Structure 1
Amino acid sequence: MSVSKGLVAVCAHLLSERGVLDLDAPVARYWPEFAASGKADTTVCDLLAHRAGLPAFSADPAGTPLPGLLDGGSRVRALAAMRPVWQPGSAFLYHALTYGDLVGEVVHRVSGRRIGRLFAEQVAGPLGLDLWIGLPRREEHRFARQSAGPPPTAGRIATAVGNLGLAPDHPLGTALRASAAELARFTDALGRREGRSAGIPAAGGIGNARSLSRLYAALVGHVDGVRLLSPGALDLARTPHTDHLPQPAPLHRLDGPDRSRFGLGFELPRPGEPLLGDGSFGHAGAGGRLGMAHPGSELAVGYVCTAMSWEPSAGPDPRWVPWTAAVREAAGIPAPA
């Protein structure tokens, strides 16, 4: 699920550190079609920090049907043509599925490689990871099926969005309904080969906990001689980029101390979700998945599971609370302030 967003972020930062991708540049420098519909000034940083105003692939509240959702070219064309539902850079709100194609297409335009291929060649390969964006057929026999339960119905999604204070025809409300419907369809598709091979970058990563922890370890130190990012590049990736911004109107009234915090592609500690304490970074995924690291202690952790709940939660997955606290204590990492 969304632990995959960390994999995508690593690829973008690799290109940035090599000097071929300017994170402060307009997206349209690398992806000219993206300039349409008021997006000419949207920056790569806006994409990485969930500030782009494009939380869904469709302006229809029903969202994109499954054939289009599993077609990478269709998803990218839809995002290039779409008008943002808030002024990019002025607010932030989680881009559940679109994040991966927004950042992934920039990676593709800069490197000439699709995000799954670049990750396989330049990250997973050198580190020997069992971790893929798009599961190869040869690995199908290793896939452990998840139990997700029935996804939320359209009516339940509409009620949840309405409870946020958004009118049915509000553009943001429409986008959030579409996003939730798209996420439910894709999660269901992960139960079939077509979903696992599609490689939707924001949520389609498949691997194991050992490989996930090994990836994060190579961000904060050397793993068998491989370090993915320099300390300076890592500091840039985990610098807060949303703390100064509200959520888009009218959701800004829901802002509070426990709201999500983002660097450039990674989640940062917050009161309800402290990760590995101050200075740590990582990314959670629906259903309880989690990857994270603490540079000061060079500790990296990966956690995966097969039982997924659709029930919303205001805080971290309850399965995390005991063991993440125990890990911090065992590593001697001070409790977060």
Structure 2
Amino acid sequence: MTAVEGFADPAFDGLRELLQRNLSDGTDVGASVAVVADGEQVVDLWGGTADVDTGARWVKDTIVNTYSLTKTMTTLAALVLVDRGRLDLDAPVARYWPEFASNGKSGILVRHVLGHTSGVSGWEQRVTLADVCDAPRAEDLLAEQAPWWEPGTASGYHATNFGHLVGGMVRRITGVGLGEFFATEVAEACGADYFIGTPADVDPRVAPLIAPPPTGFDYAALPPDGVFVKTMTNPVIPVPETSSRMWRGADIGGANGHGNARSVALVQSVVSHAGRTPTGAQLLRPETVERIFDVQADGTDRVLGVALRFGLGYALPAPAVHPSIPEGRVCWWTGYGGSIVVNDLDRRMTFAYVMNKMNPQLVGAPRTDAYVAQAYAGL
């Protein structure tokens, strides 16, 4: 049995015990949890097996693909540009990306993209994984198509293309890709080991994801022209493909970020700590952070099929999905398989959980919610 390593304030012994129990009984294979509270890292724990094929242990600097948790990092990159006056949340996307106005998209606002209400939740044209990994090409295809519903009227989760839509604006405003902008302006500022577009020399530290068991869900039984099928199956991304160099190195700000709980918590604590980085620098003004809580959609999401409230780039408390996340100035998001980050501004706390053994749920995994509950018990 692998003992959990790292440190935790005694108040969070329950979190340590849950991680140890899950690693011992196989609920988790390799995982890390972290809490930043009131400006201090009070939990930084990890353990288990990083690679079941080689038996390599999950160590302090092991990182893993966090799937859609990446969207919270992409959102911070966008908010940095908002804070600097280079991106207006209430402006049309086409102000920064003129080609995007085509096919009835001139009225789509920046906040519609960040709130998953743009009507452009996927690609109309058939795309391959290679297309998705070629960010400029994938962005160009999105610019050409029409929205699938009236922008601003409802959310439809931008599952894979969220980072391409935000990245399309970042590229045109800054002249560099999303991953490079995030690295220099966010991750470096926070002293965090998190990547959107992971360099090849980091590969030895990456824990391969362990695919969840098949759900038995039959996509073929659904209308092929429905928003869900078009969003979630174009393209289908088999979990083993996330270990390819093409995937790891690509600029996919909706899905291919790599980090561990420590790095996630360090970056995201900017949100729970009024815009300050762990080093004390002011990355965002408090009023910029508050824009996250501008509700963009509140109802059943057209893609995920569950009731969600979306602010800007994050979900807001949703008791039916994650009952352990309390009401208040709290924002969160999760990644396919179960990784999660919760930013609680009322309690000045950020919690992160990152793992390699995936749950089948897209949102609301019970294992994940149990970790969130223990983090709050520690407070």
Q: TM-score interval w.r.t. the shorter chain?
A: 0.7 to 0.9
Q: SS where residue 14 of structure 1 aligns?
A: helix
Distance across 2 between alignment mates of 1:182 and 1:7: 23
Q: CA deviation at 1:149?
A: 4.7
Distance across 2 between alignment mates of 1:188 and 1:323: 26
Q: SS where residue 90 of structure 2 aligns?
A: coil
Which residue of 162, 174, 178 maps to 1:111? 174
Q: SS where residue 177 of structure 1 aligns?
A: helix
Contact 1:37 1:83 in 2 (8 A): yes
Distance across 2 between alignment mates of 1:289 and 1:234: 22
Contact 1:268 1:281 in 2 (8 A): yes
Q: SS where residue 236 of structure 2 aligns?
A: helix
Distance across 1 between alignment mates of 2:71 and 2:197: 13
CA offsets per residue over residues 87-123 of structure 1, 9 Å max, x none?
A: 1112211110111111111112112221101110011
Which residue of 350, 375, 378 maps to 1:300? 350
Contact 2:124 2:230 in 1 (8 A): yes
After TM superposition, list the pairs within 5 Å mapping 1:172-251 onto structure 2.
173=226, 175-182=227-234, 184-185=236-237, 187-221=239-273, 222=276, 223-243=278-298, 247=301
Contact 2:157 2:301 in 1 (8 A): no
Q: SS where residue 185 of structure 2 aligns?
A: helix
Q: CA deviation at 1:275?
A: 5.8
Which residue of 150, 153, 158 maps to 2:220? 158
Which residue of 155, 164, 173 maps to 1:101? 164
Q: CA deviation at 1:188?
A: 3.6
The count of residues paired between Structure 1 and Structure 2 equals 308
Match of 2:149 in 1: 86
Distance across 2 between alignment mates of 1:290 and 1:81: 33
Contact 1:56 1:176 in 2 (8 A): no
Match of 1:271 in 2: 319
Match of 1:320 in 2: 368
CA offsets per residue over residues 200-253 of structure 1, 9 Å max, x none?
A: 11001001110101111122224121243222111111222212x6656xx99x
Contact 2:167 2:177 in 1 (8 A): yes
Q: CA deviation at 1:183?
A: 5.8
C-alpha RMSD of the superposition: 2.3
Q: 1:283 to 1:330 in 2, by over 3 A?
A: same
Q: CA deviation at 1:151?
A: 6.9
Does residue 124 of the first structure (1) align with residue 187 of the second (2)? yes
Which residue of 82, 87, 92 maps to 1:26? 92
| Stretches (4+) displaced over 6 A | 150-153
Contact 1:51 1:91 in 2 (8 A): yes
Contact 2:122 2:160 in 1 (8 A): yes
Q: 1:149 to 1:48 in 2, by over 3 A?
A: same
Contact 1:134 1:196 in 2 (8 A): yes
Q: TM-score scaled by structure 2? A: 0.76
CA offsets per residue over residues 27-46 of structure 1, 9 Å max, x none?
A: 11100000110001110011
Q: CA deviation at 1:68?
A: 1.4
Q: SS where residue 316 of structure 2 aligns?
A: coil
Q: CA deviation at 1:176?
A: 2.5
Contact 1:13 1:237 in 2 (8 A): no
Q: CA deviation at 1:135?
A: 0.5
Q: SS where residue 166 of structure 2 aligns?
A: helix
Q: 1:227 to 1:116 in 2, by over 3 A?
A: same
Contact 2:351 2:375 in 1 (8 A): no
Contact 2:182 2:196 in 1 (8 A): yes
Distance across 2 between alignment mates of 1:276 and 1:86: 30
Structure 2: stretches of 5+ with no match in the other structure:
1-66
What amino acid maps onto 1:86 in structure 2? W
Distance across 1 between alignment mates of 2:177 and 2:214: 30
Match of 1:335 in 2: none
Between 1:185-194 and 1:286-295, the stretch displaced more is 185-194
Larger proportion of strand: 2
Distance across 2 between alignment mates of 1:181 and 1:307: 22
What amino acid maps onto 2:297 in structure 1? T
Which residue of 100, 109, 118 maps to 1:43? 109
Q: CA deviation at 1:178?
A: 3.2
Q: SS where residue 206 of structure 1 aligns?
A: strand
What amino acid maps onto 1:57 in structure 2? W
Contact 1:147 1:306 in 2 (8 A): yes
Structure 1: stretches of 5+ with no match in the other structure:
332-337
Contact 1:136 1:197 in 2 (8 A): yes
Larger proportion of helix: 1
